[in-house]
């Protein structure tokens, strides 16, 4: 019962948009996705998230949606995310000044994870970058960015690209859905023939659909961008398939946490470097050596000497979850870090958390405590992901 009470608190509280004092007197005006009417018709529990009215869960509940996605195919509305196309001579070099990922080495029709970095090496946002086929020799890139950082990212790109001749198109008239889970390919291949042959982190276009074999659940699956006018019919057709059920942001969050993936604004932010966040794998070898991107000095130093702190995974004893902001201490009571994400893990039926601790305390199997409501909860550092990734290989 304790777990279910905690989950209910999570569902009711953690997805509210922060409001200023003046805004708290009246509800904020929220954006809606092209699938909003579908969510309301199916009695989704809706809540504000990053300025959007989004489905947190449906009638079956968060845990059922989570487990369905692990075993079948969960359909997520992620139309709140930002979609951007960069086009023009030098677009790749221009983006490489803003991210540490190797974009020049990215083949056409392939996707790569990256982070926009500030001059101090902190993460402005994390994003997916796809290299589209060149048109008449002109470089083209497709970016998917976080909803809560879309305005920041667009302004950052506009300033950085000013006078470059590179065109930036913000695709506000397109929707985005994610079909995730081991049966996603079965459900999708008859509707979008050829997607079954796609490799992990690859891209293809079918009609008006822009498709990547990717996602943020740790499962195999696809993200599909379509014109807003087409998404309702496409989603309803998918939902006629017995393998597919809708899943909300609650299940998406619990799935990404089990997969050991960062949530912007919680596990990473403008003070966090990719190295301390455990994202150094996303920094290309050429970029590590040559630099040439924002924040390179700090990142190269941390790659060489190690960061002061490190993101770690924690497996808790007992049934009480730890939440963001909880202090992490040694077993002797010394404060050494803080929790950034934490919840009950439906796949493990255990409580898990991610956070940052000082590097000397970041080794696997280190015994620590997490302070929750004044009580020290025993926890142990474990490798991530907590649940193995099931990406197609």
- The DSSP annotation for 279-310 comes to -GGGS-HHHHHH--STTHHHHHHHHHH--SEE
- Last residue of a domain, which of 258, 284, 318? 258
Domain membership flag for residue 166: no
Question: Of 258, 286, 321, which residue constitutes the final position of a domain?
Answer: 258
Whole domain around residue 179: which residue ranges?
2-78+174-258
Quick one: pLDDT at residue 270?
98
Joined tokens for residue 138: 């002109």
DSSP E strands in the chain: the ranges are 45-49, 52-57, 73-77, 82-87, 110-117, 123-135, 138-145, 167-170, 174-180, 203-206, 209-212, 221-227, 244-246, 309-316, 327-330, 335-345, 350-358, 367-372, 375-382
The answer to whether residues 218 and 352 belong to one domain is: no
CA 114 remoteness from chain centre: 11
Confidence of residue 358 (pLDDT cuts 50, 70, 90): very high
State the average pLDDT over residues 128-144: 95
pLDDT tens per residue across span 84-108? 999 999 999 999 999 999 999 999 9
What length does the chain have? Answer: 393
Q: Distance between CA atoms of 185 and 355, rounded to whole angstroms? A: 34
| Same domain as 318, residue 195 | no
Q: Provide the CATH number for the domain around residue 374.
A: 2.40.30.110
The tokens 């050829």 sit on which residue?
194
218 within domain boundaries: yes
Q: Is residue 117 one of the residues assigned to a domain?
A: no
Residue 125 lies in a domain: no
d(CA 129, CA 372): 38
The H-assigned helical ranges of the chain are 2-13, 36-41, 62-71, 91-96, 150-161, 184-189, 228-239, 249-258, 285-290, 296-305
Whether 53 and 202 share a structural domain? yes
What total of structural domains would you count in the chain? 2
**How would residue 17 be classed by pLDDT, with cut points 50, 70 and 90?**
very low
Residue 40 lies in a domain: yes
Handedness of CA 28, 32, 38, 44 (dihedral sign): negative
Are residues 345 and 239 part of one domain? no
pLDDT, position 277: 98
Rounded distance between C-alpha atoms, residue 241 and residue 239, angstroms: 5
pLDDT tens by residue, 223-281: 999 999 999 999 999 999 999 999 999 999 999 999 999 999 999 999 999 999 999 99
Q: How far apart are CA 270 and CA 358, in angstroms?
A: 19
Stretch 153-166: mean pLDDT: 97
Residue 156 lies in a domain: no
| Strands 73-77, 244-246: pairing kind | parallel
State the Cα–Cα distance between residues 197 and 161, nearest whole angstrom.
36
Percent of the chain clearing pLDDT 90 (strictly above): 92
Average pLDDT over residues 27-38: 93
Average pLDDT of every residue of the chain: 94
Query: Whole-angstrom Cα distance, residue 301 to residue 323?
Result: 31
How far lies 172's CA from each of 28, 236, 239, 389, in Å?
A: 21, 21, 24, 31
Q: What is the pLDDT of residue 26?
A: 62
Report helix angle 2-13 to 62-71, nearest 10. Answer: 90
Q: Mapping DSSP to helix (H, G, I), strand (E, B) and coil, where does residue 235 land?
A: helix
CA distance 6 to 323: 10
Same domain, 194 and 320: no
The answer to whether residues 203 and 329 belong to one domain is no
Q: Is the peptide bond before 150 cis (omega within 30 degrees of 0)?
A: no
Shared-domain flag, residues 242 and 313:
no
Domain membership of residue 264 (yes or no) is no
Contacts 24+ apart (CB under 8 A), 251-254: 251/57, 251/62, 251/65, 251/66, 251/69, 251/74, 251/76, 252/76, 252/78, 252/216, 252/217, 253/14, 253/343, 254/62, 254/66, 254/343, 254/344, 254/345, 254/346
Q: In what order do the strands lie in the sheet with 73-77?
A: 203-206, 209-212, 221-227, 174-180, 73-77, 244-246
Which tens digit of pLDDT belongs to each residue from 174-220? 999 999 999 999 999 999 999 999 999 999 999 999 999 999 999 99
Among 228, 243, 258, identify where a domain stops: 258
Whether the predicted pLDDT of 10 surpasses 60: no
- Mark whether 199 and 313 lie in a shared domain: no
In this structure, is residue 64 part of a structural domain? Answer: yes
CATH number for the domain that contains residue 9: 3.30.1360.120
């Amino acid at each position: 019962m304790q777990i279910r009470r905690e989950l209910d608190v999570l569902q009711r509280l953690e997805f509210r948009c922060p409001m200023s004092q003046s805004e708290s007197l009246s509800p904020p005006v929220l954006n809606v996705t092209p699938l909003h009417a579908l969510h309301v018709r199916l009695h989704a529990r809706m809540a504000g998230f990053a300025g959007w009215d989004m489905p947190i869960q449906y009638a079956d509940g968060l845990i059922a949606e989570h487990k369905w996605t692990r075993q079948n195919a969960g359909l997520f509305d992620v139309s709140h995310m930002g979609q951007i196309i960069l086009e023009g001579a030098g677009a790749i070099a221009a983006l490489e000044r803003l991210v540490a990922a190797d974009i020049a080495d990215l083949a056409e029709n392939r996707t790569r994870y990256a982070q926009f970095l500030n001059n101090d090496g902190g993460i402005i946002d994390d994003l997916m970058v796809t290299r589209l086929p060149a048109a008449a020799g002109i470089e083209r890139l497709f970016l998917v960015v976080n909803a809560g950082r879309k305005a920041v990212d667009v302004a950052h790109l506009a300033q950085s690209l000013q006078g470059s001749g590179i065109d930036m198109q913000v695709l506000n008239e397109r929707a985005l859905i994610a079909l995730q889970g081991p049966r996603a390919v079965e459900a999708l291949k008859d509707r979008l023939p050829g997607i079954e042959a796609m490799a992990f982190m690859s891209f293809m276009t079918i009609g008006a659909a822009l498709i990547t074999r990717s996602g943020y659940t740790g499962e195999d699956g696809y993200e599909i961008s379509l014109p807003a006018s087409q998404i309702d019919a496409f989603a309803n057709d998918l939902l006629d398939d017995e393998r597919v059920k809708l899943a909300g942001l609650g299940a998406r969050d619990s799935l990404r946490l089990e997969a050991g993936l960062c949530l912007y604004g919680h596990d990473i932010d403008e003070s966090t470097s990719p190295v301390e966040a455990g994202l150094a794998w996303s920094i290309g070898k050429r970029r590590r050596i040559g630099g040439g991107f924002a924040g390179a000095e700090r990142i190269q130093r941390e790659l060489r000497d190690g960061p002061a702190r490190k993101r770690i995974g924690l497996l808790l004893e007992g049934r009480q979850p730890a939440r963001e902001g909880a202090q992490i201490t040694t077993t002797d009571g010394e404060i050494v870090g803080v929790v950034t994400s934490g919840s009950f893990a439906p796949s493990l039926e255990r409580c898990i958390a991610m956070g940052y601790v000082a590097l000397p305390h970041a080794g696997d199997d280190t015994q620590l405590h997490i302070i929750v409501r004044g009580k020290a909860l025993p926890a142990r550092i474990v490798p991530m992901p907590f649940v193995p990734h099931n990406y197609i290989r």
